[in-house]
Amino acid sequence: MAQVQATKASPCWTPNGKAYWYRQEPSPGKFEFIFVDNANKKPRPAFDHQKLAMALKQQAVLSQLDFGQHSLPFTSIEPAPDGSMFRFACGGKQWIFDNSSTLREWKGHKHCQTKNFILSDRNSPKTNKKVELTIVNDTNSTLIKYWIDWDGNLKSYGTIAPGQASATPTYDGHVWKLVTEGQKQVLGIYVTPSQGPVTAIVHECTMADVAWQNDG
């Protein structure tokens, strides 16, 4: 097993807060997924990248794509809390890859995280409880990250490239708005919970799912 190199990538926490993953670049133009169980703090490759690349190449929908073990055709994963399997999307389908190196298609609907997302702007409250927040851009667009201050003004805090994560130190109840860089389309408005660390994943479908749940 190759030694895990040091990285400045932002951690993407599992919902239970007991593990996280990140992408690291062992060399320019190459990347791999790393999984860390918070109990032992030992980073490890999330899965066998070479075996997954070989398994994906056998799928008809992906056979024409040019990729390898350090250039897999997806940029984010959804791990089981214990790291025993990982879900991801590519080729217009959902897949699961487990620790026995078995790849299978997952027929379920991709779950768009909606917890703590809201439909419209809200002023951030004046609070002082610090929360460790990571925002993941699981869309095809570069996102502008705005903090909504207590007067309702938008304060830009940089951008997040597609497939990337951004560490966002913040406070309990503070509101973050994620907007596409070009068309200024709102893809997420997130209210920071009181407990961290927490990861907010912005999908193409996030706002639509929030609207659907509110209507239901």
pTM equals 0.58
> Which residues, 6+ apart, have CB-to-CB distance to 31 below 8 Å?
23, 24, 25, 70, 71, 72
Burial 33-57 (b: 16+ CB within 10 A, else e): bbbbbeeeeebeebbbbeebbebbe
Q: Is the peptide bond before 197 cis (omega within 30 degrees of 0)?
A: yes
Residue with tokens 């909504």: 148
Inform me whether the pLDDT recorded for 22 exceeds 80: yes
Quote the pLDDT of residue 5.
40
Least confident of 49-58, 110-119, 126-135, 160-169: 110-119
The pLDDT-based confidence of 111 (bands split at 50, 70, 90) is: low
Residue 108, judged by CB atoms within 10 A of its CB (0-12, 13-18, 19+), counts as exposed
Residue-range domain boundaries for the chain: 12-106, 130-215
Domain 130-215 has CATH 2.60.40.780: yes
Residue 95, judged by CB atoms within 10 A of its CB (0-12, 13-18, 19+), counts as buried
Token reading at 65: 């794509």
